[in-house]
Amino acid sequence: MEEIISAGLEELGLTGRVPENAPAQLAQYGQMLLEKNQVMNLTAIRERSGVARLHFLDCAALLKFCDFENKTLIDVGTGAGFPGMVLKMLAPSLDVTLLDSLNKRLDWLAEVCGRLELEGIRTLHARAEEQAHEPGFRDGFDIVTSRAVAPLELLCELCLPFVKPGGVFLAM
């Protein structure tokens, strides 16, 4: 998996822009994902190459569209951590909030963060439409991401309230 990730990052023109240890760290995350997927449905993709290409490199492609360094990001409906976890590993200065309505996924993501020694990342068990009204969340993030959560018109309603003026929403 690490070799596929390294080659994919090179193809995307991201080599040198991401930490040297990122492919190894992502491969470790991928292994943890595949192991947990045997007892909890996190992804329909069940082979290492698919996880590397269809999850990790798909998320990594976002690095080509905006600057993530020293920014705040909320990943709405993070699920198994895509794209928030991947972006954190590729841009370590990024301050990440992983929001999801299912606590068991967030518990697993917190465990992953601990095992991978990731800092500057938090999990938040909430519904996006409610959390956007909480102090510090509305207009609170430089970058808002969401991947495979809802049709675009609904996704905009859920995610745009979190975007700071001048910020960006990256819908996947």
The whole-number pLDDT of residue 44 equals 59
| Predicted confidence band of residue 95 (pLDDT cuts 50, 70, 90) | very high
Which range scores top for mean pLDDT: 33-42, 54-63, 117-126? 117-126
The whole-number pLDDT of residue 35 equals 85
Dump pLDDT digits (tens) for 68-93: 999 999 999 999 899 999 999 999 99
* Mean pLDDT across 27-45: 79
Count of CB atoms situated within 10 Å of the CB of 69: 9
Host H or E run for residue 75: strand 72-76
Please answer whether residues 77 and 131 qualify as being in contact, where contact means their C-beta atoms are separated by less than 8 angstroms: no
Of 36 and 79, more confident: 79
> What gap in Å lies between CA 71 and CA 80, rounded to an integer?
22
The whole-number pLDDT of residue 116 equals 95
* Of residues 17, 43, 29, the one with CA closest to residue 114: 29
In terms of phi and psi (left: phi > 0; alpha: psi -120 to 50; beta: otherwise), the region of 75 is beta
* Mean pLDDT across 119-132: 96
| Predicted confidence band of residue 52 (pLDDT cuts 50, 70, 90) | confident
Tell me the three state secondary structure of residue 122.
strand
Residue type, 164: K
The whole-number pLDDT of residue 43 equals 61
pTM of the entire predicted model: 0.94
Indicate whether 46 pLDDT > 80: no
* Mean pLDDT across 130-152: 93
Of 144 and 41, more confident: 144
Indicate whether 156 pLDDT > 80: yes
